[in-house]
Amino acid sequence: MSINLSHQQRRILAYSIPVLAVFAALIFGAVMLLLLGANPIEGYGEMFVGAFGSGDALIATILKATPLLFVGTGIVIAFRANVINIGAEGQMVLGGLFATIAALYLPEMPPIIMVPLILMAGLLGGALWGWIPGALKAYYRVNEILSTIMLNIVAVQLMNYLLRGPLIDPAEKAGTGIPQTERLMESADLPIIFGDRFHIGPVLAILGAIATYYLLWRTPLGYRLRAVGLSEHAARYAGIPVRRTIALALTLSGAFAGLAGAVLVFGSESHRMVTDGSTMGFTGSAGFNGIVAALLGGLHPIWTIPASFLFGGLIVGGQALQRAVQVPSALIVALNGLVVVFVVAADRYRVKLLSVDGRDQEIADDGKTPEGEDESALGSVYDAAPSGTDSYGQDEFYEDST
């Protein structure tokens, strides 16, 4: 149908499709606003102003975008290796918990040591929570979608247990019992760059995205990740340790989500870890919305930067809208869901536009293959599964004899 489009036009159209999908979701949202008796034009006006209309609004948007970018970057890594990580919510929680525990139990040290330490702790927590489903998928053929969802449930209960019990602020334990930690040590606060709340989180997230770009397209490891994502079969044939790479993809993905969790705690204004009993209360659904940011960014780490910014604006603006037209905040959750559905449903058309493009976008994205790729062939003694391209294995047929 669009045969006459040039390569460049196709690319532009492909990248604008997810944005169009967001608009489609907002039109749906306008209908909902009308049904709620609110004026959608006024509401969306408030939304835009609330997200991008002032310096304060922009800062709020950038800070909101930060966890999305961290998570989104991790999602890009997973996706490129053909792994779906629905577990970023739980990985963020673990990252927040690990970092919080580090700040509570480590001795006071200067910020230059403390801040990297708590970030590292957060990264480890997330990485652990990504490694579990990664290893389960790679070595036990457990579907990662299900295991990550279950680990989200485990994570939230763990958070509630720890914040209500062992980690609770001693003052709260005696008092009203709000499940939160004490004010964490000041030397672990994320350094403020300007104003009174713009901390280094956004800078770290952008650096992380750039580093991921290099990882994926300029290193042997990145080559392995993408090779496994494109064809497990071919990658295996080329001697790439497929299982280890799959486990690693989820571990890395989780590590980024863990950083997001740590940044949420130590970049917050209260400088405590707090729970309202739900995962979303801590993450603000960033673990799910990061997926959307990654898709909006065409599963490219660099494009995920502006995509996260836009999506952060959508969330901050949504809150402004909700306050301005006096509708329950549940509307934002529902709208958020619609955005996810529309963006994901439109994603196929993005891929389609890129693939009729004459060359294989996924491989050729940036030309060169990394040097030193044969190193992977030396890599490991990968015991190939007897058969089976899918992660469940095909060696056993079950009889249908219920």
Partner 1 sequence: MSEVFTTAVLVAVGASAIRLAVPLLLAALGETFGQRSGVLNLGVDGIMLLGAFTGYYAVLKTDNVWLGLLAGALVGLVLGLASAVIAVTLKAEQGISGIGVFLFGLGMSDLLFQKLVGTPIPIDTFPQVDIPLLSDIPYVGEIFFQHSLVIYLAFLSIPVATFVINRTTFGMKIRAVGEYPDAADTLGVSVAGVRYATEIIGGTLAGIAGAVLAITLGIFQQNLTNGAGFIAIALVYFGAWRPTGVMLGALLFGFVNALVLELKTLDIIPRDFTNIAAMAPAIITILALVFVARRFRAPSALTKPFTRGK
CB of 146 to partner 1, least distance (A): 5
Q: Which of 75, 164, 167, 87 is nearest to 128 (CA)?
A: 87
CB of 268 to partner 1, least distance (A): 22
Give kind and range of the element (H or E) at residue 194: strand 192-194
Q: Could you say whether residue 394 binds partner 1 (CB under 8 A)? A: yes
| Nearest 10 degrees: Cα torsion 30, 35, 37, 39 | 20
Q: Which of 332, 354, 370, 376 binds partner 1 (CB under 8 A)?
A: 332
Closest to partner 1 by CB, 142 vs 221, is: 142
Q: Which of 52, 106, 141, 210 binds partner 1 (CB under 8 A)?
A: 141
Closest to partner 1 by CB, 322 vs 376, is: 322
Closest to partner 1 by CB, 53 vs 281, is: 281
CB of 73 to partner 1, least distance (A): 17
CB of 58 to partner 1, least distance (A): 26
Q: Could you say whether residue 23 binds partner 1 (CB under 8 A)? A: no
Q: Could you say whether residue 142 binds partner 1 (CB under 8 A)? A: yes
Q: Could you say whether residue 340 binds partner 1 (CB under 8 A)? A: yes
Q: SS in 3 state form for 175-192? A: CCCCCECCCCCHHHCCCE
3-state helix, strand, coil in the chain (%, to 5): 70, 0, 30
CB of 359 to partner 1, least distance (A): 19
Q: Could you say whether residue 336 binds partner 1 (CB under 8 A)? A: yes
CB of 108 to partner 1, least distance (A): 29
DSSP letter (8 states) at residue 72: H
Centre a 10 Å sphere on the Cβ of residue 82 and count the other Cβ atoms it contains. Answer: 16
Q: Which of 7, 328, 372, 374 binds partner 1 (CB under 8 A)?
A: 328
Bridge-based pairing state of the strands 198-199 and 192-194: antiparallel
Q: Could you say whether residue 230 binds partner 1 (CB under 8 A)? A: no
CA atoms within 13 A on the CB side of 386: 4
Place of tokens 């729970």: 275
Q: Which of 30, 59, 324, 344 binds partner 1 (CB under 8 A)?
A: 344
Instruction: Please give the Cα distance from 390 to 90 (Å, whole number).
Output: 26
Closest to partner 1 by CB, 28 vs 52, is: 28
Kindly list the distances between the CA atom of residue 178 and the CA atoms of 159, 164, 175, 284, 285, in Å, as whole numbers in the listed order. Answer: 13, 8, 8, 19, 22
Query: Tokens standing for 119?
Result: 């970030």
Q: Which of 13, 19, 24, 36 binds partner 1 (CB under 8 A)?
A: 36
Asked if 93 and 159 count as a contact pair (C-beta separation under 8 A), the reply is yes
CA atoms within 13 A on the CB side of 272: 16
Work out whether the CA dihedral 359, 360, 363, 365 comes out positive or negative. positive
Q: Could you say whether residue 383 binds partner 1 (CB under 8 A)? A: no
CB of 280 to partner 1, least distance (A): 9
Per-residue binder mask for partner 1 (CB under 8 A), 272-301, x = binder: ------x------x--x--x---x------
Q: Could you say whether residue 153 binds partner 1 (CB under 8 A)? A: yes
Asked if 305 and 62 count as a contact pair (C-beta separation under 8 A), the reply is no
Q: How many residues does the chain have?
A: 402
Per-residue binder mask for partner 1 (CB under 8 A), 44-83, x = binder: ----------------------------------------
Choices 66-74, 194-202, 248-256, 333-341; region in contact with partner 1 by CB under 8 A: 333-341
Q: Which of 298, 336, 307 is nearest to 319 (CA)?
A: 336
Where does this chain bind partner 1 (CB under 8 A)? 36, 84, 86, 136, 140-143, 145-147, 149-151, 153-154, 157-158, 160-161, 164-165, 278, 285, 288, 291, 295, 327-328, 330-342, 344-348, 390, 392-394, 396-398, 400, 402
